């Protein structure tokens, strides 16, 4: 039996639960695996554990905003080239 292709994983970081739900629904319907966080600090932790293929970060979030989260991601060799939409 051939191996199933790995699903692309997308991380969504947004403090607005409604935005996360809308994005999750659309992305899962399109066949993507989705993980969610509520702020940039949670996103950085999740990225190190899950290793998503793409991160979608809200700019204005509590604890750590999207711009500072991107700066931290770019500073680390493991995440420096992670595609990010913000």
- pTM, two decimals, is 0.91
Ranges of each domain in the chain: 38-86
DSSP 62-78: SSS-HHHHHHHHHHSTT
* Cβ-based neighbour number of residue 62 at 10 Å: 10
Architecture field, domain 38-86 = 3-Layer(aba) Sandwich (3.40)
pLDDT of residue 41 exceeding 60: yes
Q: Contact at 8 Å (CB) between 86 and 67?
A: yes
pLDDT of residue 82 exceeding 70: yes
Any idea what the Cα angle at residue 22 is, between residues 16 and 26, rounded to 5°? 145
Per cent of the chain over pLDDT 90 is 91
- Give residue 6's pLDDT: 78
Average pLDDT over residues 44-59: 97
Among 76, 6, 16, 3, CA closest to 44:
76
């Amino acid at each position: 039996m051939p191996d199933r292709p790995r699903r692309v994983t997308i991380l969504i970081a947004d403090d607005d639960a409604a935005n996360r739900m809308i994005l999750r629904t659309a992305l899962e319907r399109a066949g993507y695996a989705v993980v969610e966080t509520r702020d940039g600090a949670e996103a950085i932790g999740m990225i190190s554990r899950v290793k998503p293929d793409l991160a979608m970060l809200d700019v204005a979030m509590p604890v750590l905003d999207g711009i500072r989260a991107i700066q931290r991601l770019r500073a680390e060799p493991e995440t420096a080239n992670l595609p990010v939409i913000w």
